[in-house]
Structure 1
Amino acid sequence: MTETSGSDVAAELTTARAQTALQAARAGASVAAEHFRSDVAVETKGGDTDVVTVADREAQAAVVETVADAYPDDELVGEEGDLRKDVPDEGPAWVVDPVDGTNNFVRGLRTFATAVAAVVDGEPVAAANVLPAAGDTYVTDGEAVYRDGTPVTVSDVTEPGLGCVVPTVWWPPERRAEYARACEGIVSRFADLRRPGCAQAALGRLAAGSLEGVVTNVECNPWDTVGGVHLVRTAGGRVTNLDGERWRVGDRGLVASNGHLHDEVLAAAREIDAEL
């Protein structure tokens, strides 16, 4: 495996959209990092744990500016403000999460990411997830996945008893029983679980071989998932919905794995719905 310095990653990418995704994610992450562990005001959106800060808005603006400079006619899909909220089925578009893991961000925890993905006709073609406080960058052009400049792939773990799986995307208070079943389904099958509190970070770590699975039965927003899904697939992993079919934006549930353990990861995910 050839090591590439972080500053040379863009030169290694084979598509202009991948280079723009990386540039835009770095721009947004730089803005978020400036606000990290500062006295930033916290607002709520859809619930007590659905929070937003000025960092989210300013980071998104930095991403949008970078993308628009390179691709002024492309659609923009994003979490904050008046950006489009769904991925178009046709044509090029960009999917942006300025701060994925805002609850970590406001608590001073380092696991948060700026995620930027390019899609064409609804399918991702490039993605970059930058975790400024953790010091990690995951990027792919569909040919290879790099973590901090080094090519990576999913793990080769084939034994469930050696696997580590993440329950991701937050379950609201009225659905905490599902969260409990997710945790039980994981710990009864695998060595352990992790919950980083940032879906894009979890998917990036799966792509880099640090985890073996990521699961939820929740319908996911595109900005929480599209870039990370592309990372996992390009790195050799598998991503499906709860029916075991190839995952697409809009599906309920997301089951991602290193491929070797997909049946077991899928079984754990399906168990979340056991009593619904």
Structure 2
Amino acid sequence: MTGSATDPLHEELLAIALEAAARAGELLRDGRPADLAVAATKSSPVDVVTEMDIAAEKLITGLIAGHRPHDGFLGEEGSSVAGTSGVRWVIDPLDGTVNYLYGLPTWAVSIAAELDGETVAGVVAIPMRGETFHAVRGGGAKATGAWEGERVLAVRPAPVLDQALVATGFNYVATVRAHQAEVARLLVPLLRDIRRSGSAASDLCDLAAGRLDGYYERGLNPWDMAAGDLIAREAGALTGGRPGERPSGDLAVGGTPGVFEPLQALLEDFGAWHD
């Protein structure tokens, strides 16, 4: 999508999100202790939280509240405030915690701003790649990187499905991911290949940047996809859930025009939307 004039409030929210993501990314990159350990678990013993997830969310919510004290929050690590302004911030302070715990580089800070229930601004910072992706609704999507400055994002021209590179993710609950593995087994012979990075926000941004042709995953939460979904759509991707539905915890699908619909149809046929 090409850039256009955008609402000043959306630009204000974007600027705050960019500042918060940069600060949290620096904290996570530079403050990671050598003896980093698991602070808690979530859905299963292998779905973890570290002390750094908690510290990053506290930094983000504190910074945003300093600028906009009447906004609401929904954060992965427990921030939940209703707010009175009509704006809600949907925050994943560290998307890809297991990667971070193991010292792998694909992890991200994801911050989205919703206005009256619609996402209007989104930022995904991937500090170990030196990249920050951002978008406002109706204004296109952009990325900044030290190697090339700022660039406008656009999805790849759509290949035929059997030449499409598609990313996915797997749940941390063993019974759920067993079915997800079966869906991937059925799907992979019909594609160029499947990738699994461990960060939904990063995958959606790679779709926006033309590095993937499609993406799907079951079991995402709002904070996993709010910013990345907006960035992908503003770069020209189509996103949804089951046919005719929006992305949800049942299923989130994204793709270039020409890949999205056949990928979505296969996922429906293979039962990717249930365990």
The code of the aligned residue for 2:184 comes to C
Aligned 1:15-54 pairs, distance under 5 A: 15-36=11-32, 38-46=34-42, 47-54=44-51
Counterpart Cα distance in 1 of 2:88 and 2:115:
6
User: What is the Cα deviation at residue 160 of structure 1?
Assistant: 1.3
Q: Which amino acid aligns with 1:126?
A: A
Shift of 1:251: 5.0
Residue number in structure 1 paired with 2:111: 116
Please show how residues 138-153 of structure 1 align to structure 2 within 5 Å: 138-142=133-137, 143-148=139-144, 149-153=150-154
2:137 is aligned with 1:134: no
Alignment of 1:165-184 (within 5 A): 165-184=166-185
Matched residue of 2:198: which SS?
Answer: coil
Aligned partner letter, 2:250? R
1:226 matched residue in structure 2? 226
Matching of residues 1-276 of structure 1 within 5 Å = 15-36=11-32, 38-46=34-42, 47-81=44-78, 83-84=79-80, 91-142=86-137, 143-148=139-144, 149-218=150-219, 220-242=220-242, 244-248=243-247, 250=248, 252-273=250-271
Q: Percent identity?
A: 29
Aligned match of 1:6: none
Please list the CA deviations of residues 130-176 of structure 1 after superposition, one character each: whole Å capped at 9, or x if unmatched. Answer: 01112111111221211222111111123112211112252510123
Higher mean C-alpha deviation, range 105-114 or range 158-167: 158-167
Measure, in 1, the Cα distance between the counterparts of 2:225 and 2:210.
Answer: 18
- Distance, in Å, in 2 between the alignment partners of 1:103 and 1:271 is 31
Larger deviation, residues 45-54 vs 91-100 = 45-54
1:194 & 1:211 partners in 2: Cα distance? 9
Does the CA contact (< 8 Å) of 1:165 and 1:194 recur in 2? yes
CA distance in 1, matches of 2:55, 2:17: 17
Offset at 1:268? 3.4
Distance 1:239 1:99 in 2: 23
Which residue in the other structure is 1:10 paired with? none
Deviation at 1:185, TM superposition (A): 3.6
Contact 1:44 1:52 in 2 (8 A): yes
* Alpha-carbon distance in 2 for matches of 1:146, 1:30: 20
Unaligned 5+ segments in structure 1 are 3-12
RMSD, matched Cα: 2.3
The residue identity in structure 1 corresponding to 2:271 is D
When the two structures are superposed, what TM-score results if normalisation uses the length of structure 2? 0.87
Asked whether the equivalents of residues 204 and 228 of structure 2 are also in contact (C-alpha less than 8 Å), the reply is yes
Separation in structure 1 between the aligned mates of residue 183 and residue 129 of structure 2, nearest angstrom: 26
Cα offset, 1:36, TM superposition: 3.6
2:6 aligns to what?
Answer: none
Classify 1:156/1:237 alpha carbon distance in 2 versus 1 (closer, same or farther; 3 Å). same
* CA separation of 1:20 and 1:185: change in aligned 2, threshold 3 A: farther
Q: Deviations over 1:180-209 (max 9, x none)?
A: 123124312210111000000001101111
